[in-house]
Amino acid sequence: MKGGIYSILKAKFLINDDAAKNWQFIIFLIILALIMIANSHNYEQKTYRITELDKEVKELRSEFVDRRSELMKLKMESTISEKMEVKGIFPSSVPPKKIKVLKEKEKGFFEKLWQ
C-alpha cells in the first residue's frame, strides 16, 4: 500500500513506459474542465442579462402606465376646454345636430335605358 501511494505522490505514472495513455486522459480531463468552466461563465452572463432585461421591462411598463394616465387626463373634456379658453375658444352651449344624407337609389340598366 505504501508503495502505491508513494508512486502516486512521486507521479511515476506520468513517466512510465505506458505514460502516453495517462497523458491523453489527463489532457482530455483538462479540456473537459475548460469547457465546463466556459459553459458556466456563459450561463452566468445570460442570467445577468435576463435580470437586466426584466428590470428594464418593469421600468418601461411603469412608464407606460404613467404616460397612459397622463393621456387620459389630457383627453378629458374639462382639460381641453380649459386649454381652449386661454385661446378664446369656448365650448358650444348648443348640442350638435346629426345630419343625415340620404343616397338616391341607383338606377338599374333598364331604368337608365328607358329614361
pTM of the full predicted structure?
Answer: 0.51
Question: How far from each other are the two terminal CA atoms of the chain, in whole angstroms?
Answer: 124
Encode pLDDT of 28-70 as tens digits: 999 999 999 999 999 999 999 999 999 999 999 999 999 999 9
The burial class, CB within 10 Å (0-12 / 13-18 / 19+), for 87 is exposed
What was the pLDDT predicted at 50?
Answer: 97
- Work out the percent of the chain whose per-residue pLDDT is above 70: 95
